[in-house]
Amino acid sequence: MVKFKIEEILVMDERRLLNIAIGMLDYYGYEVMMGSDFTIGYREDAQLCFVAHVDKVGGIPQVKKSGIFLYSANGEPLGGDDRAGVWIMFELIRKKSPAMFIFTNGEECGGIGAKEIINTIPQEIFKDISLMIELDRQGSLEYVYYHSIPKEVKKYIESFGFKEDFGTFSDISILSPYYKIPAVNLSVGYSHQHSRYEYLNIPVMKDTLSRCKKMIKKPLPKVEYTPGEDYEWEYYEDIYGLSDDELALLENKNAIAWLYGEPYCIECGEPAFSCSCGNIDNILEEGGYGIHT
Ligand SMILES: [Zn+2]
Ligand SMILES: [Zn+2]
């Protein structure tokens, strides 16, 4: 079956991606379950469950390459969030990896596909799944979780080189507490998602793929789990509670530009993420329309 390049996946329609996922999973021998906003590939021997979302913020990007980075030249967000995660899952499926795969739509709208899954897919198919791994985190080698997770899970993820960070929402915020399976979200190499300055670091995306392959070879044994409280939901709703005026103000302060593949602060000239002059980090996340990481 045809191999898709990340450049192709970045410009595809979300419906087409859900359909490609169906065809690919079927071709490589997975049992397929589908709804209007999700596609699931299932295998009896699956212990890890990977999750990525096919939807993106904004329209079709004009994808350009600069060294190891991809970016968008037409003002539409690149969509490495979360097409990088989709690309990694396609690669794992092509290798007939013994894992489960969930593609959702509408993650950027509060998790439409994930909500459809909990309303239609029985607990039964998750009975042997020890960990859900969403591939939808910015940056490199970080993991976040949205409900407290057992020590064993942290130890397991950290043994593959990932470091704990803080995140606000993704599909697993809905799936993990419902099915009572611990879940983490891993970095896939994009930065400044939801904004025209978004870029994707290709080696980081490929590195996450190779770490996922190692995890599949050495899956986490099943642990007893009761999810803790989901504090992050409140934070998520707070940010979306900003008025139009407040959002416009943040947008005006969005003082970064594109230079050599890295956004930088035009006030102090430092990289946007480590800028010391005025909290550029927050401006980007909020002014770029989103806070999900
Ligand atoms: Zn997003
Ligand atoms: Zn995302």
Considering the domain architecture, whether residues 144 and 259 belong to the same structural domain is answered as: no
Contact 212, 88 (CB under 8 A): yes
Interior angle at CA 51, CA 241 and CA 190, nearest 5 = 65
Considering the domain architecture, whether residues 224 and 251 belong to the same structural domain is answered as: no
Please, which residues have CB less than 5 A from ligand 1, an ion? 81, 193, 292
- Residue 237 placed within a domain: no
- Residue 158 placed within a domain: yes
Distance 113 CA to ligand 1 centre (A): 14
| Residue range 75-80: mean pLDDT, rounded | 94
Judged by its nearest atom, the ligand closest to the C-alpha of residue 192 is 1
Please, which residues have CB less than 5 A from ligand 2, an ion? 81-82, 136
Considering the domain architecture, whether residues 141 and 268 belong to the same structural domain is answered as: no
Buried-state track 236-247, b at ≥16 Cβ within 10 A, e below 16:
beeeeeeeeeee
| Residue range 55-70: mean pLDDT, rounded | 94
Considering the domain architecture, whether residues 102 and 162 belong to the same structural domain is answered as: yes
pLDDT: which is higher, 240 or 50: 50
Contact 286, 280 (CB under 8 A): no
Considering the domain architecture, whether residues 191 and 262 belong to the same structural domain is answered as: no
| Residue range 185-198: mean pLDDT, rounded | 93
Considering the domain architecture, whether residues 126 and 43 belong to the same structural domain is answered as: yes
Task: Enumerate the β-bridge partners of residue 191.
Answer: 199
- Residue 238 confidence (pLDDT): 43
The whole-angstrom separation of Cα 225 and Cα 150 is: 7
CATH code of the domain in which 49 resides:
3.40.630.10
Considering the domain architecture, whether residues 129 and 265 belong to the same structural domain is answered as: no
- Residue 257 placed within a domain: yes
pLDDT in tens, 127-171: 999 999 999 999 999 999 988 899 999 999 999 999 999 888 899
Q: What is the mean pLDDT of the chain?
A: 84
- In the chain, the number of structural domains is 2
Main-chain phi, psi angles of 166, to 5 degrees = -115, 135
Cα separation of the two ends of the chain: 32
pLDDT > 70 fraction of the chain, expressed in percent and rounded:
78
pLDDT: which is higher, 244 or 141: 141
Considering the domain architecture, whether residues 15 and 153 belong to the same structural domain is answered as: yes
**Among residues 87, 103, 108, which one has the least CA distance to residue 205?**
87
- Residue 1 placed within a domain: no
Considering the domain architecture, whether residues 96 and 215 belong to the same structural domain is answered as: yes
| Residue range 265-278: mean pLDDT, rounded | 56
Distance 174 CA to ligand 2 centre (A): 14
Hey, which bits of 7-125 come out as E strands?
Answer: 31-35, 38-42, 48-53, 63-66, 69-72, 100-104
- Residue 13 placed within a domain: yes
Judged by its nearest atom, the ligand closest to the C-alpha of residue 288 is 1
pLDDT: which is higher, 86 or 259: 86
- Residue 292 placed within a domain: no
Distance 228 CA to ligand 1 centre (A): 24
pLDDT > 90 fraction of the chain, expressed in percent and rounded:
69
Judged by its nearest atom, the ligand closest to the C-alpha of residue 136 is 2
| Residue range 182-200: mean pLDDT, rounded | 94
- Residue 157 confidence (pLDDT): 98
Considering the domain architecture, whether residues 210 and 263 belong to the same structural domain is answered as: no
The whole-angstrom separation of Cα 74 and Cα 45 is: 44
Considering the domain architecture, whether residues 82 and 177 belong to the same structural domain is answered as: yes
Judged by its nearest atom, the ligand closest to the C-alpha of residue 134 is 2
Distance 52 CA to ligand 2 centre (A): 8
pLDDT in tens, 256-270: 333 233 455 555 655
- Residue 68 placed within a domain: yes
Distance 192 CA to ligand 2 centre (A): 11
Considering the domain architecture, whether residues 247 and 225 belong to the same structural domain is answered as: no
pLDDT at 253 over 60: no
For strands 100-104 and 38-42, give the pairing: antiparallel
pLDDT at 234 over 70: no
Residue 273: how many other CB atoms lie within 10 Å? 16
pLDDT in tens, 96-130: 999 999 999 999 998 999 999 999 999 999 999 99
Judged by its nearest atom, the ligand closest to the C-alpha of residue 291 is 1
- Residue 141 placed within a domain: yes
Q: Which domain holds residue 212?
A: 6-232
- Residue 168 confidence (pLDDT): 81
* Domain finish residue from 204, 232, 260: 232
Q: pLDDT band at 289, cuts 50/70/90? A: very low
Distance 249 CA to ligand 2 centre (A): 24
* Domain finish residue from 190, 206, 232: 232
Q: What predicted TM-score, i.e. pTM, was given to this entire model?
A: 0.81
